[in-house]
Chain A
Amino acid sequence: MVHSGQTYAVVLALLFAVAAGLVGSFALMKRMLLASDVISHVALPGLGLAFLYGFNPLIGGAATLLLGTLLIWQLQKKTRLATEAMIGVVFAGSVAIGAVLTPKEDLVEALFGRFEDLSLTAFLVGVTAVLLIILFVFRFKDELILGLFAPELAAATGVKLEILELYFLLVFSLSVLVGLRFLGALLAGSLIIIPATTGRRLANDLSHFLFISCLASVIAVGSGLAVTRYLLPRFSPGPIIVIISAALFVLSLFRKPAEIRRRTGPLS
């Protein structure tokens, strides 16, 4: 029944869920969650060109995605207004360009993704990327935390902030790229955004935050894949995964954050 191509795809999707939860947690703390949407949307014209000229959609996506990363890196150095304006412009602009370029019959797939069996090579490439992301987060966790908490303190402790920033952005984009394949350009950013937001609701220390974000992400991907395979085979799993993820967030709203216990000081 289940052949290896399918197993590969499921294993990679679950590993990706862990990576997205971790990267999303730090992206949330850096207040750059929306950048994942910007990056994934930028990939859409690339996907469109790939479908149009018949080359691998991942290559088209990766090329435009790299462009988007550099664009954000540059604009991050400028004013807040520019970043915000960029998000608005890039969102709409790239979806529109992508919609024009992508052949009609491939548009839904480009926007919402498709869950397909993986060759061993594709699986290995994907697993390498995902492990790279996970290892990066664990290796640079302390540097990232200090940089977030007080950049001066981090610098005084010897953290090289600028290069760390670039590394993080590259890892961040890599996460979006891995998600692009099965979640599609519209939803690739959502597994970075939603589980981390759920984690933030429920945790106020780092290890719980990271753990809950990853757990929420894995539950969404696992149950989303199961639902589309056994209950709703007509749908592609991307939207189902995102719906489950959002439902988990809604559930988290019913629990009061632990911080409310003490009422002194500012609430976060």
Chain B
Amino acid sequence: MILVTGERDFGGQTESSPVTWPPQFVLPNGVSPDRNAIMQALAYAPNRADYMTPILSVRDLTIGFGNHTLIQQLNFTVDPGDNLAIIGPNGAGKTVLLRALLNLLPHEGFIEWAPDAKLGYVPQKIAADRHLPLHVDDLLAAKARLLKLPAQNVRLVADRVGLTQELLETSVGILSGGEFQKALIAFALLGDPNVLLFDEPTASLDELAEEHIYELLRDLQRERHLTILLVSHDLSVVYQFATKVLCLSRGKPCFGPPTEILTPETLEAVYSTPVKFYEHHHDH
């Protein structure tokens, strides 16, 4: 599925682009190269990242509030189809980073989204005011109208995340944690994003609800070729789910594949305390 997304970007390369490999696939704009050949070629590619246009490049990103610098000189890239997990202790700036990526915060440095990137945002549950006389329907319909989408799209995204008509007509204040999380995902899916930014998807959910949410994310990713950026505390999930890990800590940030980052040594440096991530999920 990553490769399929790669194909599209590959087809979009212009002659002046740095891509020289494989030469027979560099076609003029607008002409689709042979899909199977590309997929085959990419499967043999020694380093996929060299050939793909990143959907997000972050360079020298610095974010601070007043005198306090929270994120300093951060660099990373995300390719289409990636699952980037952002980890780090409380207060390391994970949520702040997501908000900066959504262009909701002033920052220095460069945040470059690919021109076809369409962002969907699922904020932390606690960032939402649930004490309002609103049905789930009210919220989804409001977004659909703002984006000038047809009204039936509300029904479509609700079906997709498994929200029944009854739940759509339920006040946001009395949904369970898992139902509310689904409502937030449905909200993010309105407008057909190809990137989901997800802040603490399973915070305060029980394990069953948590599994449902991750199952849903995986299915969505398969269907829609999503790129996912995920803030999570759950390192076992990160290990299974992520293709790249970005760790933020008061020390130096680190970035790489999970096998490199999720080692006891690195994690100890990030969290300033020994972390047994592989036991975390099943202990309680």
Contacts and interface: CB of A to CB of B under 8 A. Distances in A.
A29 B174 contact: no
B135 A265 contact: no
A146 B146 contact: yes
Contacts, number: 98
B205 interface: no
Given A205-B169, A259-B171, A259-B173, A149 B139 contact: yes
Nearest to B174: A265
A205 B129 contact: no
Main secondary structure of the interface of B (DSSP, over half): mixed
Contacts of B133: 29, 200, 203-206, 208-209, 268
Interface stretch (A92-100, A121-129, A154-162, A179-187): A154-162
A144 B265 CA distance: 48
A255 B189 CA distance: 37
Contacts of B142: 141-142, 145-146
B187 interface: yes
A205 B176 contact: no
Interface string B122-133: 010001111111
Interface string A156-192: 1111000000000000000000000000000000000
A204 to B, nearest CB: 4
Contacts of B180: 265
B93 to A, nearest CB: 15
Contacts of A262: 170, 174
B188 to A, nearest CB: 9
Given A148-B129, A153-B128, A142 B143 contact: yes
B146 A157 contact: yes
B123 A150 contact: yes
Contacts of B146: 142-143, 146, 157-159
Given A153-B187, A268-B174, 14 more contacts: A143-B146, A145-B134, A145-B142, A149-B128, A152-B99, A155-B104, A159-B146, A205-B133, A259-B171, A259-B173, A265-B174, A265-B175, A266-B174, A267-B173
Interface of B: 99, 102, 104, 119, 121, 123, 127-135, 137-139, 141-143, 145-147, 169-177, 180, 187
Interface of A: 29, 141-143, 145-146, 148-150, 152-153, 155-159, 200, 203-209, 259, 262, 264-268
11 contacts: A145-B134, A145-B138, A148-B132, A149-B134, A152-B102, A156-B102, A259-B173, A264-B176, A268-B131, A268-B133, A268-B173
